[in-house]
Structure 1
Amino acid sequence: MDQRDHQATGLRERLIDVGVELVTSEGTAALGLREIARRAGVSHGAPRRYFPTHHALLSAIARRGFEEFGSRVPAAMAGPDADDPRGQVRALGSAYVGYALEHPGMFELMFRHDLLDGGGRDGPSGARLRDSTLPMFELLVSLVARCGAGDQPRITAAALWANLHGVAQLWSRGSLPLALDGDPAASLDRLVDAAVDAHLPERRP
């Protein structure tokens, strides 16, 4: 890689870094091309040299979120339930909800596919985003199938995912704490357990 290519790669990564900083501190509404360029110290047209569309840049930012979440999964699933698919589903769900509450801005962006290019139409950034998002769902599908959840594990996994996503969003926005106020059994752990129990068959004795 010559110096010009190295500088281009460095600026491309800097634009993504700034986007990550912005979405973490200020949320998705702050992710305008001009603001990212300003914070990166480049002209407002510079991002277009590396990202053909705004969606492509947002996709590259979101991919960082999927990578960070993905890096947490092995440790989360390596506990005492490592050989129990139901326990692993619960561990994955807890990690998912936990990441959502720790990084609300990034979590929102990661699943705004109306803003992102998950199909790769905008080139390599979109294609890489698709490669980052789908393996996590496929992992959930495989675990659900191992739990004996009927002949449609993908549908069951999708419903469970939607349930967990709703728990994360409603908790982070205060709706669930408000609705469950005064319930001594109310906690995120109990809600994750309830979601898993609602979609997976009961354990066999």
Structure 2
Amino acid sequence: MTSERTYHHGDLRRAVLTAALDVIRTEGPGALSLRDLARRAGVSHAAPAHHFKDRTGLLTAIATEGYERFADALADAPDLRERGVRYVRFAADHPAHFQVMFQPDLYRADDPGLLAAKDRATAELRAGVTGLPATGRGDDPRLTGVAAWSLAHGFATLLLSGNLGGAVGTRDPETVFRSLAELLFAPESDHPGPHQGHGA
């Protein structure tokens, strides 16, 4: 009776998603099982399939939710650097979503809801590159976007996997990332040329 009431109130879907995110965060996506999630959520083993059909459907829902939250996190960031900071913050705050979002072999990449959420997140990422001042390092905004994405994604991935302990230490990771972004994306005039700073 409790499971039926939960199902009709629409809480079952959220309960299964929450249980799945807990499993992914601690054990990885490979540990997911609809039967185990049903047990964790306290419902019949067939109940999750009603919402997600199968494991791939569940992971598609997680990726879609991840991209929606990701787009929200990036929205209205004032510049490219702060978009990168929000990227890192999102990964730290939503590690399970982050794991799934960038492994398209786990979910249905052609799902319409997923594509819409992904397009919105991509638009937010690209918005940070639009209007950047010329740096003298090339004028292809796509390559600039890839460079910025690589920096943020690489930093976030290394942070989540525990590989930045020595480099970051006790410092705030977001502050460290801001410093890295300034080094790589500051205008060319901010970097001394071969004869600057030598009294020439």
**Quick one: which amino acid aligns to residue 48 of structure 1?**
A
Cα 1:201–1:128 change in 2 (3 A) is farther
Higher Rg: 2
Correspondence for 2:110 = 119
Query: Aligned ranges for residues 7-156 of structure 1 at < 5 Å?
Result: 7=8, 9-24=10-25, 26-74=27-75, 77=77, 82=78, 88-120=79-111, 127-148=112-133, 151-156=139-144
TM-superposed deviation, 1:133: 2.0
TM-superposed deviation, 1:148: 4.5
Deviation per residue, 1:84-140 (Å, 9 max, x gap): xxxx111111011122123323321222212122221xxxxxx21221122222222
Say whether the 8 Å CA contact 1:37–1:43 is kept in structure 2: yes
| Identical pairs, percent | 33
Question: Which runs of 5 or more residues in structure 2 are unaligned?
Answer: 191-200
Distance 1:129 1:159 in 2: 24
Find out whether 1:162 has 2:153 as its counterpart: no
User: How many residues align structurally?
Assistant: 183
TM-superposed deviation, 1:62: 2.8
Match of 2:163 among 156, 175, 190: 175
Say whether the 8 Å CA contact 2:73–2:90 is kept in structure 1: no
CA RMSD of aligned residues (A): 3.4
Alignment partner of 2:129: what SS? helix
Distance 2:168 2:40 in 1: 41
**Quick one: which amino acid aligns to residue 38 of structure 1?**
R
Say which is worse superposed, 148-157 or 165-174, in terms of deviation.
148-157
Distance 2:41 2:54 in 1: 17
Question: Which runs of 5 or more residues in structure 1 are unaligned?
Answer: 83-87, 121-126
Cα 1:105–1:189 change in 2 (3 A) is same
Say whether the 8 Å CA contact 1:22–1:30 is kept in structure 2: yes
Deviation per residue, 1:1-49 (Å, 9 max, x gap): xx99x72844334322332344345543442222212122233333333
Cα 1:181–1:61 change in 2 (3 A) is closer
Cα 1:191–1:13 change in 2 (3 A) is closer
Distance 2:93 2:100 in 1: 14
TM-superposed deviation, 1:187: 5.4
Distance 2:20 2:95 in 1: 14
TM-superposed deviation, 1:165: 0.8
Cα 1:140–1:20 change in 2 (3 A) is same
Say whether the 8 Å CA contact 2:17–2:58 is kept in structure 1: yes
Say whether the 8 Å CA contact 2:68–2:118 is kept in structure 1: no
